[in-house]
Amino acid sequence: MADQYTKQDPTTAYPMPDREGQSEIEHPGLTSDMVSAPDHGEKTYRGSGRLEGRKALITGGDSGIGRAVAIAFAREGADVLISYLEAEEPDARDTVRLIEDAGRKAVPVPGDIRSEDHCRALVDTAVSELGGLDILVNNAAYQMVQMGGIAEISTEQFDRVLKTNLYAMFWLCKAAVAVMEPGSTIINTSSIQGANPSPELLDYATTKAGIIDFTKGLAADVAKKGIRVNAVAPGPIWTPLIPATMPTEKFESFGGDVPLGRPGQPAELAPAYVFLASQESSYITGEIIGVTGGTPLT
């Protein structure tokens, strides 16, 4: 597999994962549960010092998109705190090793971001353990497909989706803005679902649309502080979340309907986060970058 600088055909840059051979797994899912392990850029991402000396906090940093971003940030020169659920400890240990292999400091912090106290503690820990906070990546999210739509979405599920995807982002951003210096960045993770909602993901899609508006509004609010706020909106990305939250008949064809004809890999998201975290995007704030395999956000 070539690195991110090598010209490749996007339709075949990554092999199609074995979706039919994959069985459903218990949420939140581990990378070891995957028949075709996601590619996080472990063997391919090549850094060039674009985030040298930065201090980053990434929620959901143990696996999937979060792990890919953690690897890329570390190889670009950043120290990284990763937040994750206690059940994801095996994945978190692997991510810590990958960050440390890049010569950077890794701070693993397990816990549930549905707690406001825990969100504040994450920011406090980043400041105390890393020496500051320059980059906040709100990546952790909860979804659970309900093929029957709104009739099958319980109040308990709706509450969990909103607390994980929206409340935590609000709490983390509020705490981060209070300690960030000019030149810092916040990157939120939205989704193609925020623009093109699927009925079976009604609650999740609602939060992802909310993240888009929150990103734009917060960007305008903190621009005077010299803090930039942007979002990445992924399309179908192959991570443990997919077989952990979808029935088999749903993920067997996952990602096959986008123009590029395949699901994306976490490694293909990382460069967008690096760009938004780096000085290269100094005149960009309040924007949403779609990484969707060709499906329009509008």
Catalytic one of 167, 204, 273, 283: 204
**Strand partners for 237:** 264
- Does domain 32-291 correspond to CATH entry 3.30.360.30? no
Q: For residue 111, is pLDDT > 80?
A: yes
Q: How do residues 274-295 score in pLDDT, each as one tens digit? A: 999 999 999 999 999 999 999 9
Decide if 113 contacts 172 (C-beta within 8 A). yes
Q: Buried b / exposed e across 156-169, counting CB within 10 Å, b at 16+?
A: ebbebbbbbbbbbb
Written as one letter, the residue type at 90 is P
**Mean pLDDT of all residues belonging to the chain:** 97
Domain map (residue ranges) of the chain: 32-291
pLDDT score, position 10: 96
In whole angstroms, how large is the CA radius of gyration of the chain?
A: 18
Say if residue 28 is preceded by a cis peptide, omega within 30 of 0. Answer: yes
pLDDT tops 90 at residue 118: yes
Does 142 qualify as catalytic in the annotation? no
Overall average pLDDT of the 127-146 stretch: 98
Instruction: Supply the pTM of this predicted model.
Output: 0.97
Task: Check residue 3 and give its pLDDT.
Answer: 85
